[in-house]
Structure 1
Amino acid sequence: MIALAPAPAAAIDDAIDDAVGRIRERALTLGGGFPTLGDAIARATEGGKRFRPALVAASFQAFGGDPLDTPVLYPIAAAFELLHTAFVVHDDVIDHDTVRRGIPNIAGEFRERARLRGADASGAALLGDAAAILAGDLLLHEACRLVALADVAPVRREALLALLDDAVFVSAAGELADVEHAVSPEWAEPDALLNAAHDKTAVYSFTAPLCAGAVLAGADHAAIAALERAGSRLGLAFQLVDDLIGAFGSSDQAGRESGGDLREAKRTPLVSLARDSGAWPQVSEALAVAHTGPVAVREAQRALDESGARLRLLALIAGTLAEARDAAEDPSLPPAARGLVDTLVAAVSERVP
């Protein structure tokens, strides 16, 4: 993940801990399995890079904001980390994943809880999924609560809530489109796959955090609009690089076995570019057996390379990042904000496998 410096990491961590602590305290008063769910939520928020709250803080400072004068910066930043965790928890349910970062996720923990209490496999899966869905719901609620209770002028609170609203709706639309593309017998058009890739990530990971920091610092409408354009391009490029990592990245980059997206036959923009080439029969044949092991994965990687899809996606990423830089040249942005976008462009580029 992208690292930003300097960032008030300790203050952000404290704000996240306070929010999660409130969830755990409320869970304790309700008894039953709820305190266990509160503990699982706390574990789900640990170990991440916390890029999105750092981006809120970096944008705030780029627009001349002083954290000492605006202590609400940290709860607002924390809201975007809780939003991210909520999406991750729900995404694991959608993907039927029970492990994250090598340990059981919330669904995995509650499946084991059910098994220890005598449930069969079906019952364990039901409890695991229910717990994860509810955990994501609680995290979404807490993120909204942090913004709704922010001690800022009403006009800024309204702007922050609009950003959060957009992040939730666009991300949900992107996730639904992604699943629809995966289960449809027909391939979606490349533009539809690109739109889904954008919507899944760009708004909640880049546009909304960038704009939230700027709103808190008092940026005007022209600057917010320029940041929206830059964030949109950054988010799409980031997701396209993720597609490359999922197909060609090392196990360290991907956080799992190399070629995981090829093993799972994911319908990504990368594969759609290969489908649009004369080499698609060879690529399709290689992808059909990629799940069988490392040798088949390497053959699928070779077929994608030879189809030209990798080079075309690299060109698309470069063009998208150039658009982000162009958006940052807007005269409404202060030099530090333009520098922040340039830093993000460089960091996304450095992730390319």
Structure 2
Amino acid sequence: MTIAQGIAFGPSVTAEIESEVRRVLDSRADRVAALGSTAAQAWDLASRCLLGGKLLRPRLLIGAFDALRACPYPELPTDPGPSPSVSALQCRPEARDQAVRIAAGIELLHFAFLLHDDVIDGDLMRRGRPNFIGLLLEEWQAGSGAAGAEQATVASQLHAARSTAMLVGDLLLSAAHQIFFSAALPSDSHSRLLEQLDRAVMESVSGELTDVALGAGRVHSGLAEVVEMSRQKTATYSFELPLHSAAILSGASPETEAILGRAGALLGLAYQLQDDLLSTFGRSDEHGKDAYSDLREGKETAIIALARRTSAWPLIEPHFGAGDLSSQEGATVRSLLSVCGAEGEIRALIDELSANARELVAAEPMLIGPDMARLLDELIEALDGRRS
């Protein structure tokens, strides 16, 4: 089960988000096409790659928005007056449409980060399939009869594909910012929304920088450093940003927003730690990744940081980062990571984070409300049963 599947949504929520993502992509397609055929081809491929994802982040935003809204829309007036309050705005029918637009913007932000991440990591595959870079190379190879193609070397094609991914990621970041900037909100709420977007981008970049530095051995690979990297790189934009945005768009109080942000930080970190666990101990046919790719790449995860402290590390270290790691060697390392206690410690940390999130929600029932509490409980349950 994926975490998105574990959260209850109305039957039309996914269709709403997909439709809005498609509308945003299509609305920019003509503008991109006017820049030239190269840009148009890249945008078209990015659009095809982007559609059909799990939509975890936008679905979380809409689920939280619906749980927080104060009243059903059909019974409310559509014209609250010349200077509507936040609570009045969130009760209007168009407020739901605006939430869907922001949710689509977060999905564009997510895909932009994935493109940049694949460039940094030098990956051609994601979840067992060709990623944007890999698909672009396939398209170019299929059209190898094009003028100038015979002069292109494999290295130059790869450089061009990776550069294209980076630049398309920049376009998607710009599109996401434009969606947030265009939100029709009172000035204070709009400033808070933009501040959360800015924070999410800054922390994600900081987390990626730390990840790169860890891989190069430029940063101490202790547990605290790796956990903070995981929080910045994933938790902030994947959980905190959707929950903060939902609170702001729904007109929830700053106190409610703060609680949701803290819950998002806890659950987002649990999500990333669980992702590392699944990559090492999960079934590749369920999570879609090479069973030992993190070990072959020498990826600094919390599991590895814990293993470094144990007597098993001298047996693990020769295989860590070995590009030619065999399945048998990988299975041995995986067994050592379990026996040395690293696996158990990470599972205990995930359980602790989930328990802290439950306690946080239970402590403030009046601020959270029953519907939001139920959504967060479903989110925690989905984390517990996650396999991909």
Partner-residue secondary structure (3-state), 1:72: helix
Q: Distance in 1 between matches of 2:165 and 2:94?
A: 38
Partner-residue secondary structure (3-state), 1:257: coil
What is the identity percentage for the equivalent residue pairs of Structure 1 and Structure 2?
34
Q: Which runs of 5+ in 2 are unaligned?
A: 74-92
Say if 2:45 is the partner of 1:40. yes
1:99 to partner: Cα distance: 2.9
1:84-140 C-alpha deviation (Å, 9 max, x unpaired): 110111111011112335544332344456662231123212211111011101111
Q: Using a 3 Å threshold, how does the CA distance of structure 1 residues 226 and 247 change in structure 2: closer, same or farther? A: same
Counterparts of 1:122-271 in structure 2, within 5 Å, are: 122-184=155-217, 187-271=220-304
1:289 to partner: Cα distance: 5.6
Moved over 6 A (4+): none
Is the contact made by 1:27 and 1:38 (CA closer than 8 Å) also made in structure 2? yes
1:150 to partner: Cα distance: 1.5
Partner of 2:107: 81
Deviation larger for 289-298 or 171-180: 289-298
The one-letter code matched in structure 1 to 2:270 is A
Say if 2:45 is the partner of 1:12. no
Q: Which runs of 5+ in 1 are unaligned?
A: none
Partner of 2:347: 314
Q: Distance in 2 between matches of 1:210 and 1:231?
A: 7
Q: Using a 3 Å threshold, how does the CA distance of structure 1 residues 21 and 186 change in structure 2: closer, same or farther? A: closer
1:214 to partner: Cα distance: 1.4
Is the contact made by 1:107 and 1:129 (CA closer than 8 Å) also made in structure 2? yes
Partner-residue secondary structure (3-state), 1:161: helix
Is the contact made by 1:110 and 1:124 (CA closer than 8 Å) also made in structure 2? no
Is the contact made by 2:298 and 2:322 (CA closer than 8 Å) also made in structure 1? no
TM-score w.r.t. the length of structure 2 is: 0.86
Q: Using a 3 Å threshold, how does the CA distance of structure 1 residues 35 and 165 change in structure 2: closer, same or farther? A: same
Q: Distance in 2 between matches of 1:271 and 1:185?
A: 16
Deviation larger for 134-143 or 115-124: 115-124
Deviation larger for 286-295 or 325-334: 286-295
The one-letter code matched in structure 2 to 1:351 is R
Q: Using a 3 Å threshold, how does the CA distance of structure 1 residues 352 and 314 change in structure 2: closer, same or farther? A: farther
Q: Could you say which structure has the larger radius of gyration?
A: 2
Q: Distance in 2 between matches of 1:170 and 1:342?
A: 26
Counterparts of 1:26-65 in structure 2, within 5 Å, are: 26-64=31-69
1:149-190 C-alpha deviation (Å, 9 max, x unpaired): 122222222221111111111111001101100111674221
Point out which structure has higher relative CO (alpha carbons under 8 A, 6+ apart). Answer: 2
Q: Using a 3 Å threshold, how does the CA distance of structure 1 residues 57 and 186 change in structure 2: closer, same or farther? A: closer
Is the contact made by 1:264 and 1:291 (CA closer than 8 Å) also made in structure 2? no
Is the contact made by 2:297 and 2:322 (CA closer than 8 Å) also made in structure 1? no
Q: Distance in 2 between matches of 1:131 and 1:352?
A: 32
TM-score w.r.t. the length of structure 1 is: 0.94
Aligned residue pairs, count: 353
The one-letter code matched in structure 2 to 1:347 is A
Partner of 1:341: 376
Q: Distance in 2 between matches of 1:25 and 1:100?
A: 28
Is the contact made by 2:295 and 2:322 (CA closer than 8 Å) also made in structure 1? no
Say if 2:301 is the partner of 1:296. no
Partner of 2:98: 72
1:240-277 C-alpha deviation (Å, 9 max, x unpaired): 00111111110123312223212322111101111112
Q: Distance in 2 between matches of 1:200 and 1:113?
A: 31
Q: Distance in 2 between matches of 1:113 and 1:251?
A: 27
Q: Distance in 2 between matches of 1:147 and 1:267?
A: 33
Partner of 1:92: 118
Is the contact made by 2:286 and 2:387 (CA closer than 8 Å) also made in structure 1? no
Q: Distance in 2 between matches of 1:333 and 1:262?
A: 41
